[in-house]
Structure 1
Amino acid sequence: MRPEIEKIARDFTEDIRKLYGKKLISLFLYGSAAGEDYIPGKSDINLLVVLEEINVGDLDLYLKIKKKWERKKVVTPLFLTEDYIRRSLDVFPIEFLDLKEKHVTLYGRDLLAELTIDPANLRLQIESEIKGKLLRLRQSYMELEGKPEKVKKLLDIALSSLTPAFRNLLRLVGEEVPLSKPEILEKIAKRFGLDSDLFSRWWKLKTGEMKASTAEIRKLFGEVHEEIEKLMDIVDGLKV
């Protein structure tokens, strides 16, 4: 954890303990701030608060300190109960597996480390995510009338939204998940026989490392659409 994050985490923990006292079970830092891809001043700081129970009064309590922490890039935390977590693993396996794999315990029991995700549920959500994003990609392309500058932004959004599914697909098939997004894309392509050069160009277009003409953006969109469709079919037939 970066030194500036350590101070924010320490001070935030103190505020949360004062607000919730014995109702507080655990407090976690997760997301980029808990890993290597945190960008100071740009990345949000994500936290998960686990309480014994949650009512509207508990939410109102946090409003007392919300603006103070927003100034330090702390977004409104997730407020969950242990029971909600336990009963939602089948519905949100991707989200909870991401939390399990990338978090820092700031207070209380590390209940995220105790989570067990059913591979069948994980495969189903990955399939749902990829199919849903593919549909959205098609629909948005038509809504945007294929305009290159807007299609470029659409490709950027699609890459960001598909990355969690890619990361968890690697976990599902027993592959070690790289820390960086470019490496995740490269590994997904190689593991499932997709076009690794295309995935590299997709990433470089998003980060600005590569410039593309109108014709190149249209071509790239078509290639991305084709590769995501291939991956969708692979995941659909995957046995776990």
Structure 2
Amino acid sequence: MMGLRKKRTTPEEFATALSEKLPGKLKSVVLYGSAVAGDFVPGTSTYNLLVVVERLGLNELDGMSGAVAEWMKDGNDAPMLFTPEELADTADAFPIELADIRQSRRVVYGADPLSEMVFHHDAMRLQLERELKGKLLALRGHYIGCGTNSEALCELMTDSLSTFLVLFRAGLRLYQSEIPVIKMEALVALAGHIPLEMEPFREVSTLKIDHRRLKLEEARELFGRYLEAIEMIVKAIDQKICQSGDSPHV
């Protein structure tokens, strides 16, 4: 008789385990990402957590290592770990990530560490420009390494989709203040400001949800349209960034 499948640890259970391992030192545990935004895909998406601890020396890291290892066995990434001071100083280094977390978050333990965080416009523009161009370069490079393998090419598209949609949602902040939390809805909103092709992103999203694989020629054809659509958006956002006086809405 087959054994029962182990129940996945919930964010609340993980936070409780951490609080027991770090008595008096755990300040906050914040759930963010697709589990809060509404585009969580069971079996594909994972839980994302931001954890704030009074200090993060060797004793604290050793103390939480067992709970984190169990958390990662469920397929989740390791949580982002900050001290309160480090988190306060991180807004200018990672404004895109932290602005997204602040927009779609649920505090599962302790105080809300993001409610008073302020993001500077220049930092947002600088990171957006760097990330967009860097991810586009990486996408082209990865294609060269897998362009003759249908399965690898499909994985390249589905694995990169979320990253590009997050960056495009950040780009939407250059145009409007109301930002949809669901990434595909943000892309639709961006289409109201710049010319872009939605269909390649919809097809890659369907590919990701259905776990479907394509024949090589089908995968190459879709990748060509996907790459062209990304290039079009990156160019438009880059032009917008270069216009003086445009401040992101954060």
Fold match by TM threshold 0.5: yes
Match of 1:38 in 2: 40
What residue is the counterpart of 1:191 in the other structure? 193
2:178 & 2:211 partners in 1: Cα distance? 27
Structure 1 residues 207-240: Cα deviation after superposition (integer angstroms, max 9, x where no partner):
3498755444323322222222222222222232
| % same residue | 32
Aligned counterparts, 1:66-77, within 5 A: 66-70=68-72, 75-77=77-79
Shift of 1:159: 1.3
- Cα offset for 1:58? 0.4
* Structure-2 residue corresponding to 1:226: 228
8 A Cα contact 2:148 2:216, kept in partner: no
Query: Unpaired runs of 5+ in structure 1?
Result: none
Structural mapping, 1:143-162, within 5 Å: 143-162=145-164
Which residue number corresponds to residue 18 of structure 1? 20
Is 2:29–2:109's contact at 8 Å kept on the other side of the alignment?
Answer: yes
- Does the 8 Å contact 1:49/1:79 carry over to 2? yes
8 Å CA contact 1:201–1:210 kept in 2: the answer is no
Instruction: Give 1:172's match in structure 2, choosing from 151, 161, 174.
Output: 174
Residue 83 of structure 2 corresponds to residue 97 of structure 1? no
* TM-score, L = length of structure 1: 0.82
Q: What is the CA–CA distance in structure 2 between the aligned matches of 1:226 and 1:182, rounded to whole Å?
A: 18
Task: Tell me the C-alpha RMSD between the 2 structures.
Answer: 2.9
User: What's 2:121 paired with?
Assistant: 119
2:131 to 115, 125, 129: 129
> Across the two proteins, how many residue pairs are aligned to each other?
236
2:112 aligned residue? 110
Distance between the aligned counterparts of 1:209 and 1:74, measured in 2? 19
How far 1:70 moved relative to its partner?
4.5
Counterpart in the other structure of 2:85: 83
Structure 1 residue 119: Cα displacement: 2.2
Structure 2 runs not aligned, ≥5 long: 1-6
In structure 2, what is the Cα distance between the partners aligned to 1:145 and 1:211? 14
Answer yes or no: is the 8 Å Cα contact 2:150–2:213 preserved in 1: no
How far, CA to CA, are the matches of 1:220 and 1:40 in structure 2? Answer: 25
- Alpha-carbon separation, structure 2, partners of 1:67 and 1:210: 31
Paired letter, 2:156: L
Secondary structure of the residue aligned to 1:107 is strand
- How far did residue 21 of structure 1 move? 2.7
1:154–1:76 CA distance, 2 compared to 1 (3 A): closer
- Verify the 8 A CA contact 1:50 1:79 in the aligned structure 2: yes
Q: TM-score, normalised by structure 2?
A: 0.79
Q: Aligned residue for 2:50?
A: 48
Structure-1 separation of matches of 2:237 and 2:79: 32
Greater CA drift, 45-54 or 7-16: 7-16
